[in-house]
Amino acid sequence: MSIVHDILKRHEFQEAPPVLIDIGASGGLNPVWKELARYSVCVAFDADQREMAATNGASRIYKKLHVYDQAVTSSPQQGSDFYLTKSPPCSSLLPPNNQELAAWEFADRFTVIEKSAVKTIQIATVLRDLALDRVDWFKTDSQGTDLRLFLSLPTEVREKTLVAEFEPGIIDAYEGEDKLWEVMRSMDEHGFWMADITIKGSNRIRKGLLRGFSGFERKYMMHLLKTSPGWVEVTYLNSFSADVFNKRDYLLGWVCASLKGQHGFALEVATSGSQRCSDPIFEELKTHSSRRIRRSYFSIAAYFPLLRRVFRKWKKMKN
């Protein structure tokens, strides 16, 4: 959206560019940040370097990119054990809960191939070292410690964070992990609302039971068995209920809500910004959001419920 670029070129963001945090950046940075990248400072962390090529190569895209090959912890530590698993995205500071995982088809992904000592660091320390006083978009896939990492942010930073993305578990994949229900309770208490959730999962079948099936059957049965919920990808947006936000925050809040497709909330943020800040840009943003909402009327999908009702009435009349 060209309007996003117009906003991010304003002096508010020349003086204080968006700050994006990605914990568990193996495999590449958040693709939603494409529109923000050239204007933003991105700080990425991952102790498992096996799939960090795409992340390290993103320096040309961002205004500034800082990559740390360290594990992020919520409390001060000199170092920690790190469990490198067969599947790099499953590596964690927490040991896999093998007893619980044994009931699931994807248990092999969590097989520990090496336990190594790694350096650890806190987000607050990094922010201080980089002279950053804000985190606008917080994304973490830490494999079990997402909530505690978010809550470890300094209070004045956390309460002004605009977007928070987590990938908490539903099942007990790791020992002592932060679970979805804990994230939901805590984020509600801290003034955020759930803007999006995608349920992920695996097949509930023990590996030993697969021995009764042929190799051909094992290969294709996973596409036929029902997938059960195991974890989620969930996004929270700041509700802007606290009285701590300035013009920059309202502008970037509108951008973030729009990028997440939450045009109704974007309209709400623009309206609040217009009431609190004397800048005509917010009227333009309100108009843009209203236009995006109206555009949904012309979506074919929007007419499916109406067409179904018409078809049912027609069928009833015919009979």
Residue 88: what pLDDT?
A: 86
Residue 90 one-letter amino acid: C
Name the pLDDT band for 300 (thresholds 50, 70, 90). low
Q: How many Å apart are CA 227 and CA 241, to the nearest integer?
A: 38
Q: Which of 159, 173, 161 has its CA nearest to residue 228? A: 173
Segment (H or E) for 142:
none
Residue listed under structure tokens 């390290």: 56
The per-residue pLDDT for range 43-77, each reduced to its tens digit, is 999 877 665 555 666 667 899 999 998 889 988 87
Q: Give percent of the chain above pLDDT 90.
A: 68
The pLDDT of 215-224, averaged and rounded, is 76
This model's pTM is above 0.95: no
Residue 76: what pLDDT?
A: 84
Residue 275: what pLDDT?
A: 94
Residue 262 one-letter amino acid: Q
Residue listed under structure tokens 């802007």: 240
Q: Which of 147, 172, 150, 77 has its CA nearest to residue 117? A: 77
**Rounded to 5 degrees, what are φ and ψ at 72?**
-95, 130
Who has greater pLDDT, 27 or 68? 68
If phi > 0 it is left, if psi is from -120 to 50 it is alpha, else beta; for residue 226 that is beta
Length of the chain: 319
**In sequence order, what are the beta bridge partners of 228?**
202
Taken in order of first residue, the domains within the chain and their CATH numbers are 2-239 (3.40.50)
Residue 66: what pLDDT?
A: 93
Residue 60: what pLDDT?
A: 78
Residue 299: what pLDDT?
A: 63
In the sheet with 41-45, reading across from the earlier edge strand, the strands are 64-68, 41-45, 19-23, 137-140, 163-166, 227-238, 192-203
Who has greater pLDDT, 11 or 27? 11
The pLDDT of 94-98, averaged and rounded, is 95
The per-residue pLDDT for range 243-293, each reduced to its tens digit, is 999 999 999 999 999 999 999 999 999 999 999 998 999 999 999 999 999
Name the pLDDT band for 78 (thresholds 50, 70, 90). confident
Would you tell me how many other CB atoms lie within 10 Å of the CB of residue 62? 21
DSSP type of residue 95: P
Q: How many Å apart are CA 79 and CA 64, to the nearest integer?
A: 27
